[in-house]
Amino acid sequence: MIPSSLAFILCFTALGLPLAARLRTFAPLERLAAAAGGVMVVLYLASFFVYLTGVSWSWLWLLPWAGIAWLWIDRSRLTPLLENKDVRSVLAGWLFIALWCLGLQILIFSYSGAGWSLDWYEHYDRACFFIHRWPLDHIFIARNSLPARPPLANLVVAGLLGLSGDNFSNYQVVMTLLGSLVVFPLAALTRLQGANGRTLHLLVLLLMLNPMLVQNATFPWTKLAAALFVLLAVMFLMRAARGLPGIGLALVALAAGLLAHYSVAPWIIALGAGVLFWLRSSPIPPGWQRELWLGGLAAGVLMATWFVWAGVEFGPTAVASATSTVALAPHATLLAQAGIALGNIRNTLAPDWGSHFFAYLMHQSEFVGRLRDMMFCLYQLNFFVAFGLGSLGVLVWRVAHEPAGPARRFWLAVVPLLLVIGCAVVTVPDGLGLAHICLLPLVLLGLAWAACSTPPRWLAILWATGLAFDAVLGIGFHFGVQSLFLLRWLHPGLSDRELIDRLNPIAISSYGDKLWTKQPFLYDLTAGWHEVVVALLALLLAMAVFRWSAAGHRKSQE
């Protein structure tokens, strides 16, 4: 755990801070966000180079050492950035979220929750594929070839594991920390909306208490890494809307996001349509043509690093057909496929509790497990509940009171299109919804928007009450089951295996996969310290609440 944490912090600090110091035309929080994405791209390119050339992974140590030298050279530029109050606040906020998610990751005895299972192992396997340079015909979890998923996040993780050790516990740490980086573009977006320091504290608290964010940060796959680049693209577009440079960088961010997860493709279409819709009533800003050319060229070169190489090694047809959208598509008519898409949209808005899959999930003897899976499905798969029971009411209130303007028109074009395309790319029927695949960045944007709201007192009380429900039903129950703490308390005479057998069949299978890998989780390595971890998590949450409350008290005195 410690080597992987140090490798992550050293690389992102030594490379990110000097990069942020150089971005002088950006606001301080925008510089942090852009630097986080920039470091990921640098690590991706460097790791891909190491993989292709066959040199030792230890050569990657040159990056942080070069970054440290760069830090020393640029120390005069870095000091004003670190003295900025917002920067210090957001860096502390990232630490809160990172420690919160790492603590929850430590408590996971075995991954479970609705139908989530082997993806946690496939992405670890993909990182190991690059580290050990396995044969190109390697099949992941007995079904997926290498081109089935894009490699950016896997290569970033491979590089960091190449420096710290490729065991699964290190992988859990790196993936959790990678997911926590979304706080930087979200903080920058709140500041672009005119938010104050208290808003930044509230954003951190909302992220800590949002089940969708926490569950994705602790299930080690690449969706949050892709969400980081989508959020960066939105941040750059907001800058462009104000006449600042950004439209070209938005293209690069979306290209990087697509290399992290193919679920970014609907965002490219939806955001592009939103920009075109916005330009119908606004003149094209000066300098956009040059930015688009340069940004498009950089984005094309970045994507070519994967698609050209994969096309040469596997063939263009194999690369295109390996994606789940194509590989899982039934041999159906266009009309039948449209019917599947409409059904998935409907179920994303209102889940079909009568579906065969939900009945399969409920086929368990444990009542707490059934309740956990029901709430897990709502928080992960339902478009509305994914925002959290607390924040959803605030968002509805704010949408109703949002004045007409370019921003409103932009999102009225983007959100419906994103919902349609985001569900249409899943070519098989899903009875419970698909919010967790393509709509995760939209949920995070909603939380940033909610953090900037000032609702009436009655709604603020409902907001706090809803957040408490989210914490108990979406986080407490979920990790109480994954850690087996809750089940051991309810059934003190049963063994761990007997407790797992009381859950749904997919949870039972996931535990079998853990035994099959013969890799200890962080949970296993911290045996005897779990009660301390729970106490520290409670203290961390209390500190986050106090931090937000104290900021509000200072504001009232100003």
Q: Count CA atoms closer than 13 A to 472's CA, side-chain side.
A: 7
Q: Which helix (H) or strand (E) holds 376?
A: helix 367-381
Secondary structure class of 115 (helix, strand, coil): coil
In the three-class reduction of DSSP (H, G, I as helix; E, B as strand; rest coil), residue 282 is classed as coil
| Averaged pLDDT for residues 118-145 | 92
In this prediction, residue 329 carries a pLDDT of 66
**CB of 37 closer than 8 Å to CB of 254:** no
Q: What pLDDT is recorded for position 249?
A: 95
Rounded to whole angstroms, the Cα distance separating 545 from 551 reads: 10
Enter the tokens of residue 188: 């920058």
Confidence of residue 117 (pLDDT cuts 50, 70, 90): confident
End-to-end CA distance of the chain: 43
DSSP characters over 414-443: HHHHHHHHHHHT--S--SS--HHHHSHHHH
**Cβ within 8 Å of residue 312, ≥6 positions away:** none
Which distant-in-sequence residues (6+ apart) come within 8 Å of 42 by Cβ? 15, 63
Question: In this model, does residue 137 exceed pLDDT 50?
Answer: yes
> Is residue 556 over pLDDT 50?
no
For the cut 80, the answer to whether the pLDDT of residue 97 exceeds it is: yes
pLDDT at 558: 44
Backbone dihedral angles phi then psi of residue 246, each to the nearest 5 degrees: 175, -25
Q: Report which residue type is found at 238.
A: M
User: Which of 304-308, 408-412, 463-467, 527-531 has the weakest average pLDDT?
Assistant: 408-412
pLDDT over threshold 50, residue 557: no
Q: Which residues are registered as beta bridge partners of 144?
A: 140
Q: How far, in Å, are 189, 309, 425 from residue 29 at the CA level?
A: 9, 35, 34
Question: Considering only CA atoms, which of 205, 177, 162, 244 is closest in space to residue 16?
Answer: 177
Rounded to 5 degrees, what are φ and ψ at 283? -70, 150
Contacts of 435 by beta carbon, 8 Å cutoff, 6+ apart: 212, 348, 380, 381, 382, 383, 386, 443
On whether the CB atoms of residues 161 and 131 are closer than 8 A, the answer is yes
Higher pLDDT, 535 or 82: 535
Tokens of 357: 């899959």
Torsion angles phi and psi, residue 140, rounded to 5: -95, 135
**For 415, what's the count of Cα atoms within 13 Å in the CB-facing half-sphere?**
13
CA distance 179 to 194: 25
Query: How far apart (Å, rounded) are the C-alpha atoms in residues 41 and 37?
Result: 6
Higher pLDDT, 404 or 217: 217
Give 472's DSSP letter: I
Task: Round to whole Å and give the CA distance between 97 and 210.
Answer: 11
**What are the distances in angstroms from CA 333 to CA 328, 330, 427, 431?**
14, 9, 12, 20
| Of the candidate ranges 137-146, 184-193, 250-259, 532-541, the one whose mean pLDDT is the lowest | 137-146
Which candidate, 202, 196, 169, places its Cα nearest to that of 183? 202
In Å, how far from its chain's centre is CA 115? 19
Q: Cβ(203)–Cβ(186) under 8 Å?
A: yes
pLDDT category at 477 given cuts 50, 70, 90 is very high
Find residue 140's DSSP bridge partners. Answer: 144
What pTM does this model have? 0.95
**Total residues found in the chain within this entry:** 558
Of the candidates 232, 97, 59, the residue with the CA atom closest to the CA atom of residue 177: 97
pLDDT band at 379; cut points 50, 70, 90? very high
Rounded CA separation 325/423 (Å) = 11
pLDDT(433) > 80: yes
Overall average pLDDT of the 47-76 stretch? 91
What single-letter amino acid sits at 245? P
pLDDT over 70 percentage in the chain: 97
pLDDT, average across residues 444-448:
95
The pair of structure tokens assigned to 127 is 């990182």
Q: What is the pLDDT of residues 307-353, one digit of tens each?
A: 999 999 999 888 888 777 766 667 667 787 788 888 889 989 998 88
Mean pLDDT in residue range 9-32 = 90
